[in-house]
Amino acid sequence: MTVMINVKMLLTATLILFGMTAVSHAEMAKAKTVEAGANNVIVTKSSPHSVSETLDRLAVLVQKRGMTVFARIDHKKNAKAVGKMITASQVLIFGSANVGTRVMWHDPKAALDLPLRVLSYEDADDKVWVVYRRPMALNNDFTVSQCASILDMENALDQLTNEVIKK
């Protein structure tokens, strides 16, 4: 069973409990959550934009940073093509050959998780989410712990997704 831990909500509850000023509800809505289990490898952030707009914004930022967009998969469109219905769900696959190659040099099997992927989906309550697997999680499955590029990817994904979810 996966448990969602909302870091800012937990902090807010603690602050309220001790009579301190809490963050606003709007800030809590934007708060980053990390799914518990599997070594905290999945990061989930709320987006104020539609699924399409969220990934459009991400694609622009990725390209501005000199990375390549390799593919965009529209799961809702693909489901509709086979007579199935799901909420909006798209994945953007992107990366930098310069950075990714350094990781794969340490362990070629890391290519199973590269290039990077970011999912944006709409839940049953029409709320849009941005989700990605933390690059640091590559250390769990592959021999890449000595590769500094993992931290570069980690920081880039966090910065990119934070920029994408701004209003």
What is the tens place of the pLDDT at every residue in 129-167? 999 999 999 988 899 988 889 999 999 999 999 999 998
- Do 49 and 22 fall into the same domain? no
- Do 92 and 13 fall into the same domain? no
- Do 31 and 112 fall into the same domain? no
- Do 149 and 121 fall into the same domain? yes
Q: What's the CA gap between 28 and 7, in Å, rounded?
A: 9
- Do 17 and 94 fall into the same domain? no
Global pTM exceeds 0.85: no
- Do 51 and 122 fall into the same domain? yes
- Do 49 and 32 fall into the same domain? no
- Do 5 and 65 fall into the same domain? no
- Do 49 and 110 fall into the same domain? yes
- Do 26 and 61 fall into the same domain? no
> Residue 24's domain spans which residues?
1-37
Average pLDDT value for the chain:
82
CATH number for position 141: 3.30.310.70
Per-residue model confidence (pLDDT) at position 22: 34
**In terms of C-beta distances under 8 Å and separation of at least 24 residues, what long-range contacts does 73-76 make, across chains too?**
75/121
Domain count, the chain: 2
Q: Name the least confident of 19-33, 38-52, 116-130, 144-158.
A: 19-33
- Do 64 and 81 fall into the same domain? yes
Higher pLDDT, 33 or 119: 119
